[in-house]
Structure 1
Amino acid sequence: MIQSVRSVASLLLSTFFLLTAMGLSGYLIPVRAVAEGWSTFTISLIATGYAIAFTVSCIITPRLVLRVGHVRVFGALTTIMAMSYLLHSLLVHPAIWVLTRAMAGFSIAGAYMIIESWLNEKVSNENRGALFSVYMVVSMSAVMIGQYIVPFGDPLGAGLFMVCTLICSMAVMPTALSSAQSPAPLTQVKFDVPALYRRSPAAVIGTLLAGLIASAWGGLGPVYATQLGLSTIEGASMLAIAMIGGAIFQYPLGRASDRMDRRRVMIVAGLIGIAACALTIGFGVDNRIIFFASMLFLGTVLFPIYSLNVAHANDHAQPDEFVEVSSGLMITYGVATMVGPVVTGVAMDAFGPHALFAVIAICFAAYSGHAAWRISRREQPTEEMRSDFLPMAAMPDLTPQSAELDPRSDPTWGEQSAEEDAETTVS
């Protein structure tokens, strides 16, 4: 295990720097926008620019890599990302920030895909599961550390943007100086949403709703915290606690879905989300203990529902179709992230900050209700058809290359897991 991690240490280091900068900028930019007095709708457009560019990059970057190679594209994208952070500090205007945030979204998605393709080249079917877990831990830790950098600076100054630029620039060094050969070309995104919907309506609709929820939270959660008077360290804690809740409860949620109809778990997850949002709206932030407990409660389903959707979709697919199905769901998710911030921004401008959780609650209600309706329309798949649930990183940013890293991309993975469980039982 240690030897396996050592072989990809430079790539994990690049990932750490890249996502630390992402976590820092993702929290800093909304906080600064609120301080500038911009409307919530305006801030939502900045988040939407990021989401659109991120999704487009998942389609375009593989073609760029085919033309000029991994190292050159990664260097160019990291440079663009660093430029976007500097431009945020130099040109403080909503319209410009929509464009500069789009620059960051495009570049970080592409850089993310390239690093993941390098990692995928280094792993084997034997250590894929372990390294995938290490990769998730590194990714989540980096994002949270980035968020906690904000309280150490002044959001109204240029200093934090400079720090973000420096961290981003550091991400290019481990890969640029590596002697490792370039990996195989990136996964070309292939998706047929109508066919995917016919195969698994609950997974597609669930993924759309998961994208709406995650993008509303990620784009406007910091705005909610700032508007209600939370300090930057309290706002960072709000985001981190929800992420921790998602990481901790993915496993029990997933194990439950492996033992029953996943749509029943979807119903329960939706109800938990509604309850968490109602608790937050009812008590607000006056009692910090109740508030942060609500955030942990919300986090238990905020991001894990995407993993449920992936597992449910793959229950209705062949083992060798995992990457194609997951890529299609990721693009579907990406389209939803373009809409979530705008809808939520309009609601928050009209009804106040708590509209964030009202919108999220409505999405959870639709998620639960649609899953319940689908149970009445279709039998659950047989035990032989069902895939295994696997936790995924509790973060909103996903690329098709992430599916290549997932152990389930190996068609024999389920068989290997079953054999290991049988051996454990015998012993």
Structure 2
Amino acid sequence: MHSSLALIWTITAATTLLQAGNGLLQALMPLRMQAEGLSVSSIGVVAAAYGLGFSTGCFLAPSFIRHVGYIRAFASLAAMVSVLVLAMTQAHSTLAWILLRGLTGVTLACIFTVTDGWISARATSSHRGRILSVYMICTKVTLMLSPLGIGLGDIRMDGLFMAVSALISLSLLPIAATTTKEPAAPQGVRIEVKKLFATAPSAVVGAFVVGLVNGPVIAITPVFGVTIGLGQDQAAALLFALQAGSLTMQWPLGWLSDRADRRYVIAGLAAGTSLVSLLILWASAQGANLLILWAFAAWGGLALCIYSVCVAHACDIVEPGQIVSTIGTLLFSWAAGVTVGPLFGAMAMEAIGPQGLFIYSAVAALGLTAFIVVRILRVQRSPAKGGFADIAPSSSASASLTPRADIKAEDQPVGPDAEPHQAPGGAEAADQKEASAVARIETSS
């Protein structure tokens, strides 16, 4: 374990500090925008700008990193995010928020490509599970706890934004102090939506609907909480509950997803998301604040885990040499959903009231359930062979974090009796099991 930590301590420390600022920012921005008098629809447009910026950054990042290297890329991008956060203290119009949030989407996507690429370069088959578990649990727990910092200041003042900027600036220190050699620059990624849809339609549609649902819920949840009568501390705690539920479900979902047709898991998660959305509606109507918190934890444990199962399902089907392109295509599908999803979620809240957000969530998740069930009835697949890892929609570099990343195409058997997509045996299979329940950061919004 000590040798594994030595390989990744700098990037883990940097990402932990960065996510501490990012998690607090997720809770702070919608509450600040609401306090500035922006409508729910305007907040939804700002969230959509983040999705558009994030998707753009995912595909600009490889060429930027190849040009300046990992360390310089991280340093310059983190400095830019820090400045953008400070600029938010002077944002008093919807257009200003759109521009600033869109730019933070671009820069954060590039930063996550740096961190994913750095970690994937260190995560070989001999210690993949240990490296990923340390890195991802540290960052996930930080992202979960940091929204609670909203109670340390007044959202109408600039102190919390200054704290976010300070945390992001501090993330530069471990990177600047590193003495390790930076990894080789990442390659570009090909986007082949039509081709992947023909091969794994459940994964493509699932990734898109994840963006449609998770994007607005994460972006607008603090506003939802305040609108139904919660204090700003309690509203921020809803984000904590979402991430805590997601973290809790990693182990059981990793176990289950590696032992069944993953489409059953996707359908079950989507159906559960729809039901829990209705539970949130009922609990908010009753004013049952404790039940609302638990319901949000259940929602996070279901909805925030769908994307990783979609990735695992697609990677079960495609050739090993296509994994990077596959994850890049699923990332593109997610980005399309997260760009338009906040618009739909905000429109539902404007038309129906705060409950509209989870009516929208319930309907969208139910639609995904129906699509997956139809696919299961039409096409039978054998149970998965193992190798689940909870990969969030962060960058195409996360392709190398999947357990099958070490499988080379030439190692696969060919011919009529071959099973080309079976996970490897022996030590590598044991390593895949170790990586199965790794907790992955959720940075989609």
TM-score for both structures, normalised by structure 2: 0.89
After superposition, the Cα gap between the structure-2 partners of 1:388 and 1:298, relative to the gap in structure 1 and judged at 3 Å, is same
1:418 Cα offset (Å): 7.2
Where do residues 4-403 of structure 1 align in structure 2 (5 Å cutoff)? 4-284=4-284, 286-380=287-381, 382=382, 386-392=384-390, 397-403=393-399
After superposition, the Cα gap between the structure-2 partners of 1:119 and 1:303, relative to the gap in structure 1 and judged at 3 Å, is same
> Gaps spanning 5+ residues in structure 1: where?
none
- 1:294 partner letter: A
| Corresponding position of 2:438 | none
After superposition, the Cα gap between the structure-2 partners of 1:419 and 1:356, relative to the gap in structure 1 and judged at 3 Å, is closer
CA–CA separation in structure 1 for the residues paired with 2:315 and 2:401: 16
Q: SS of the residue aligned with 1:259? A: coil
Q: SS of the residue aligned with 2:279? A: helix
> Gaps spanning 5+ residues in structure 2: where?
409-422, 435-445
CA–CA separation in structure 2 for the residues paired with 1:182 and 1:270: 40
1:230 Cα offset (Å): 1.4
Q: SS of the residue aligned with 1:43? A: helix
- 1:291 partner letter: I
Q: Is the 8 A contact 1:187 1:400 kept in 2?
A: no
Q: Is the 8 A contact 2:283 2:289 kept in 1?
A: no
Of stretches 213-222 and 410-419 in structure 1, the one that deviates more from structure 2 is: 410-419
Deviations for 1:296-331, whole angstroms, at most 9, x for unmatched residues? 221221111112211211221123432321221112
1:91 Cα offset (Å): 2.8
After superposition, the Cα gap between the structure-2 partners of 1:271 and 1:399, relative to the gap in structure 1 and judged at 3 Å, is same
- 1:404 partner letter: S
| Corresponding position of 2:403 | 407
CA–CA separation in structure 2 for the residues paired with 1:265 and 1:165: 39
Of stretches 148-157 and 262-271 in structure 1, the one that deviates more from structure 2 is: 262-271
CA–CA separation in structure 1 for the residues paired with 2:253 and 2:359: 24
Q: How many residues align?
A: 419
CA–CA separation in structure 2 for the residues paired with 1:298 and 1:353: 17
Q: Is the 8 A contact 1:129 1:406 kept in 2?
A: no
Q: Is the 8 A contact 1:242 1:295 kept in 2?
A: yes
After superposition, the Cα gap between the structure-2 partners of 1:257 and 1:404, relative to the gap in structure 1 and judged at 3 Å, is closer
1:167 Cα offset (Å): 0.7
1:415 Cα offset (Å): 2.6
Seq. identity, %: 26
CA–CA separation in structure 2 for the residues paired with 1:57 and 1:415: 37
Q: SS of the residue aligned with 2:390? A: coil
TM-score for both structures, normalised by structure 1: 0.93
CA–CA separation in structure 2 for the residues paired with 1:305 and 1:404: 19
After superposition, the Cα gap between the structure-2 partners of 1:67 and 1:7, relative to the gap in structure 1 and judged at 3 Å, is closer
Q: SS of the residue aligned with 1:348? A: helix
Q: SS of the residue aligned with 1:126? A: coil
Of stretches 107-116 and 404-413 in structure 1, the one that deviates more from structure 2 is: 404-413
Over the aligned positions, Cα root-mean-square deviation in angstroms equals: 2.2
